[in-house]
Structure 1
């Protein structure tokens, strides 16, 4: 669901197994993942930070608040681990979602080949 039309392995990242990384998912009644996100300790411009990536919600379940739930749970976990700067490379098409959760744009839009236009978003978590 993260990268429709691309191989499943395109949604696996080296950082997934980095110490401190954590993965969150919302599962349906049958146990299938319908929304997910991964948080990774990863500096931004030399500042200690948490990057989240691999955030996705099944297209058929969008609008139910599931993405909001996994994102909020991730931010709570980051806060419990000391908080700080949280950032991501966000699809331009998802900007309104992230703005509703307190994220702001940093820098210009850039293209990730094969995936589309993105922008860096940041937010502080206490």
Structure 2
């Protein structure tokens, strides 16, 4: 996500409280995502795939696994801050755009959510 930034740039204060997933191909980490569950809501952050492996379905496979995992934890909603230019990716997984938009580090974001119906 931020390949030209130092590691301290991507570390968040509560990262140790998250559940971190990685997808490996031939013992090489290809894609990552972090999940934070609080009050029956799950937020995922930092879904990223290495540049050379993007477009091969790895991020989608990891997101599908994360959704299944979160559903198993009985959450009511899964959400993320999505880059606006990646919105169509999340729509394929049943996420909906909200009216919450913002700019961070000169990048446009939209909050996207998926309600879990039981």
Matched, 1:121 2:117: no
Question: What TM-score comes out, normalization by structure 2 length?
Answer: 0.90
Task: After TM superposition, give the deviation of residue 42 of structure 1 in Å.
Answer: 4.0
Instruction: Report whether the alignment pairs 1:32 with 2:54.
Output: no
Count of equivalent residues: 117
| Post-superposition offset of 1:86 | 0.5
Runs of 5+ in structure 2 lacking a partner?
none
In structure 1, distance between residues paired with 2:56 and 2:22: 14
Residue 96 (1) aligns with residue 88 (2) = yes
Alpha-carbon distance in structure 1 between the residues aligned to 2:96 and 2:46: 19
SS in 1 for 2:69: helix
- Counterpart-to-counterpart distance in 1, 2:14 and 2:99: 23
Asked if 2 retains the 8 angstrom alpha-carbon contact of 1:38 and 1:54, the reply is: yes
What's the C-alpha RMSD, in Å, of the aligned pairs? 1.5
Secondary structure of the equivalent of 1:9?
Answer: helix
Which secondary structure state, in structure 2, belongs to the residue aligned with residue 3 of structure 1?
coil
**Any runs of at least 4 consecutive aligned residues in structure 1 with deviations exceeding 2 A, and if so which?**
none
Specify the SS of the correspondent of 1:14. Answer: coil
Q: Tell me the TM-score normalised to structure 1 length.
A: 0.84
